[in-house]
Structure 1
Amino acid sequence: MLIDKIINFENNFAEIQSKVIEKPYGKIFYDKDNPLSYDSNHAFIYEDSDYDFAIKDIVDFYKSIAITPRVYTFTRNESTVGQFLESKGFTKSLDEICFFVQKNKKRIDIPQTLQFQRLNHIDETINELLTSDKEQGEWGYKSLLKSIDNRNFYLFGGYAAEELVCIASLYSKNDISRVNDVFTKKDKRGKGYGSQLINFVTDFNEKTLNTISYLYAHNPNAIKIYNKAGYEEITAIVRGCYWLE
């Protein structure tokens, strides 16, 4: 089922930007060069695992590289892993708004003023774009540096008068793809660039990949754009983040 595919995709998504340690109980993702990226530095644990062993192993590993121990959960209901982590002193954060699937591909009604192209390397223009917003900044740039060489990763840039003003990525695997890294330069927002960008990504996916496209979102303004492009919220998946101070 689609829900199970997305959960599996999310459990393994960090593989494009992190080193991976396979464990009997799940996986550990890490990037010592990008400690601020939670997506690059977390573990996941199978629901039927030995939780005590898994948690001790995860905590010991992340402490050995001076990174906060963190576990992500993606489940249909409240995670038993998450409940156990809480009992062991982990702080919990659950996302109220989470995943959206493009069930009906639509073009947003907006004139196209940008030029788009696939970006095959990461340069200073991308760093300048991301650091225009402190919330994204250094960690987002470093994540892209690790992802760009993956053959199933597609990074796109939108240009206004030869200036890079927005980016978005697609990571595809089999018949499913995740839209990520959707970002508009801070002083260029409110001009419709995000809508044009999503139109381009939708067209690329339909003509080149032909996959089921989904994304993670929590910003209300961004969600309005995604809804216009045919993305509908999935209420069946709960995303949890647990960390130990």
Structure 2
Amino acid sequence: MEIITYIEKIKNAYLETFAAKLERPWGILFYNTDNPTYYDANHAYIRRVPADIDRVVDEVIEFYKSKEIIPRFYIYNLEKQSCLQETLEKRGFSFEELLDPIQLWNSKVVEVENRGLIRIEEVSKENFYDALEVQSKIKEFGGREIREQAFQAEFNHPNHSSFLLSYKDKPCSIASVFRYQEEAILENLATLEEFRGQGLIGELIYYLQRKMYEQKVKKLWVFPISKRAEEVYKKYNFKTITKLRTGHAFLRGKGFKKIQED
């Protein structure tokens, strides 16, 4: 299986932990009516070129509108989807092309001396709301409205684990790990703005790398949301192995690029 196809498979397995899915001949409809504004939980995944593009677009629009969700497409295999892109734009969809880096840890474990003022613990019932508070304040995650329901779903899923870093007893950094067979994805890694620039992300990454090594995870992936994030991960032994070219079409609202700019 080629690497791009394999990455799509891992990503879709991750999405299924917080979204229902309906498989169609042309792809998958992901949806979560409890969290309708969460992009990843509510979109049509299209990889194969649709035989009847207008019919597929009609189906997607009708499906999401019936659930009071903004119609949205995540389009893969983009170099073959020009007709779909043209049709969507003619029908009022905004479109953005994305080039997402795919990074893989080189399995090198770095031993670091804990600074003493740092505490890292797995998220449990006892510290769940501390972790949620951190996630809710990180604008890149979309705010409390989006993350509260998604974080609860992740917390309840057996393949998800989240970790909270506190500095001077103040919760300030968060990360999640999604286990997929003998591999894992590092997700939702961030630090509150007022605590950035102190190396806390590095402490959390090294901690999780050691943990994955001890658990005999064969591959640890990360999918950075920006060029800046990609460069940060490179400092911690993640190598960019390819870039995933995709399209994002949406009937209303903001694209990913605009959200990052804001």
Pairwise same-fold verdict (TM > 0.5):
yes
1:196 match: secondary structure: helix
2:101 aligned with 1:98? yes
Runs ≥4 in structure 1, deviation > 4 angstroms?
A: 107-111
2:42 aligned with 1:41? yes
2:137 match: secondary structure: coil
1:151: how far off?
1.1
Q: What does 1:80-95 correspond to in 2, within 5 Å?
A: 80-81=80-81, 83-89=83-89, 90-95=93-98
TM-score (normalizing by structure 2): 0.82
In the alignment, the residues of structure 2 paired with residue 120 and residue 54 of structure 1 have an alpha-carbon distance, to the nearest angstrom, of 42
1:182 match: secondary structure: strand
1:59: how far off?
0.9
CA RMSD across the alignment: 2.4
What does the per-residue CA deviation read over 1:67-98, in whole Å, with 9 as the maximum and x for residues that have no partner?
Answer: 211111334xx343464133232322222343
**Could you tell me whether the CA contact under 8 Å between 2:165 and 2:171 is conserved in 1?**
yes
1:47: how far off?
0.6
Residues 108 and 187 of structure 1: CA distance in aligned 2, closer, same or farther (over 3 Å): farther
Opposite residue 213 of structure 2, the aligned amino acid is E
In the alignment, the residues of structure 2 paired with residue 29 and residue 191 of structure 1 have an alpha-carbon distance, to the nearest angstrom, of 38
1:52: how far off?
3.4
1:238: how far off?
1.2
Opposite residue 91 of structure 1, the aligned amino acid is S
Between stretches 60-69 and 3-12, larger displacement belongs to 3-12
In the other structure, the counterpart of 2:139 is 134
Opposite residue 16 of structure 1, the aligned amino acid is T
- Alignment equivalent of 1:119, drawn from 111, 118, 123: 123
**Could you tell me whether the CA contact under 8 Å between 1:98 and 1:239 is conserved in 2?**
no
Question: Percent of aligned pairs with the same residue?
Answer: 22
1:62: how far off?
0.8
Between stretches 29-38 and 184-193, larger displacement belongs to 29-38
Residues 62 and 167 of structure 1: CA distance in aligned 2, closer, same or farther (over 3 Å): same
Residues 220 and 23 of structure 1: CA distance in aligned 2, closer, same or farther (over 3 Å): closer
1:236: how far off?
4.5
Opposite residue 63 of structure 2, the aligned amino acid is F
1:184: how far off?
0.9
1:180: how far off?
0.5
Unaligned 5+ residue runs, structure 2? Answer: 253-262
TM-score (normalizing by structure 1): 0.87
